[in-house]
Structure 1
Amino acid sequence: MSIHRTLGRLAAVMFTAGLLMSAAQAQTIAYITNGNTNEGWTLINGGAKDAAKKAGVKFIELAAEKGELSKQLAIVEDMITRKVNAIAIAPVDSAGIAPAINKAMAAGIHVVAVDTGITGAKITSYVATDNIKAANVQGSWAADQVADGDTVIYVTGDQGQSTGRERRDGFLQGLNAKRKNVKVVDVPTTWDQTMAQNGVEAALRTNPNAKVIACAWDGGALGAKAAMLSAGLKAGSVKIAGFDGSPGGLDMMKDGWQQANAAQMLAKIGAVGVETAIAAANGKKVDARIDTGSFLVLPSNVDQFAKDSGVGQFMKKK
């Protein structure tokens, strides 16, 4: 092959790569969060930003102030008007957001649900932990800590969201598969740590012999710890199982206040959510459901998980 032909082919490849890069950079991706600002969401949002920066797309990040559905609906409507190429969204309300999402999809805007699913709308993709699978493992662990007739306190997430429902359902499935004769006391919350603390305080007063407090997220576990301290209980006297693998949750474990954690790959959820939105906007086929994985963290492997997941950089320094 002549040097001229070689250079010509190289130039063609570089030209094509340039076109692809320009196409990616021309895409506008809206990332709409649910307004949560806890540690877990800090990591998810950080992953989303990093993915957008790496891809070189125009990235619009907006949040539903105070977690209000009406404000998230208004944001989606605005993104439709601005004709973004794709929306990655963590819905405040799985069903309530559906009308706006249907409108976005009808306008040709790809929609990727991040962390929490959407019901009543056909979306491009759903990127999240398999919450039922992860919660199943959490429930199975809890079953190993109790005997028939014992009491388990369960701190729920928002039952208006698929995430909250799936984590509760998965936990109960895992628990009942091993222990059918266990009393489960629900502490309802809307992902609010203060609600968790107040609810666990009340549950401990009426169920002083509870053996395990399982939580749908690590903020609930932090609330459970505060409730135990308020009741004069020591670390480990009632076992706490968290969910998320957040820095605060793993710090609790290092300090003896948490004995198990159904950990998500938090930064990966945000990163894959945005990567999927970008891919769809560029006309690539994406999977309808993407599981970003989970891992049961115990005191015996917490240090390794913190290192491998990147969470360790945000934990307390010993």
Structure 2
Amino acid sequence: MRRGLRLLVPLGVIIACTFAAPALASEALTDTNVTFKSLAVNTKGEAVVTYTRSDGKVRHVLAWGAVNANTPVDPAVRQVRFKWDYAGGWGKYRNASYWKRVKNTCAPYDGPELPYLVAACKAADGTYWALQSWQRGLPLLGFDPWKPSQTAYELHLSHWSGDLPKLEVYAHWTYGGSWQGLFGRLTYAGSPVHGFGSTGEGNPLDRYGRNVYVDTFNSVYGAGWRRESGILVHKPTGTFCHSFVPQKPFPGYPSQEMRPPAPGERYRVTVMGPGVTPVVDWEGRGLTSADRASAASITEVFDAVMAGDARCAGER
């Protein structure tokens, strides 16, 4: 993920966004572009995910040992995470056919709506399990993918009870009405979601950190959804911001020519929930000239949501 910006903006304006390139997913299976076959959950809190890999090999992956998420209070306390056995039970039980003995006791899913849903169910203890598939690694700034990894569909497993992570997103005019932008906040169980450290490029250095991914629909990048940005949520507020401004492509991209502002008809923001909670998203319309009349009221919302975030103060 990119933390520094290379932007063309008016003199005196400093953009406070954080841009990011794909980071390591915390609870995604290692195989990508798979064909899902089944999800089974037993009364011991074990799940078996069965799928066919792109090379035709069928895998039975055993996962266990995690539910929900820890809030970021003490970096010495590890974030919850699954234990994985890609050999169907050999790693845990020294029984490669253990997966066959996992009796599925999961009932039909009756939980909240989830984006990118592949499969979900309600376990006997009342907790939920879900699988979601999405393209997290798309290149930023609306570029067409030029590497196979950038088009990969990741398969994310989650296990939770209670409320989902809360993703708040608002569209507003930034820098005196010159640009369109988004700001928001990611919380879980009433607490901000954030990590304790990151690289200079904006990659989390622990499993508490999260990046939000911003997509723009029908923009100068082209028709349909295009990936605009990846943003590291800020410590300690769980907040983030982004302005659609001219941007310099990152090193290694196919072109180094300045990219134009890309406000769209609609916006979408997606983020992996903390711990082993699900992927959540937000979608809303782009701004029009009619929205300028409500600029004062959205500024009040900005002040309330973004309180304590000095990096986004310039986008008020």
Relative to the length of structure 2, the TM-score reads 0.26
- Please identify which structure carries the higher helix content: 1
Select the structure of larger CA radius of gyration.
1
TM-score scaled by length of structure 1: 0.26
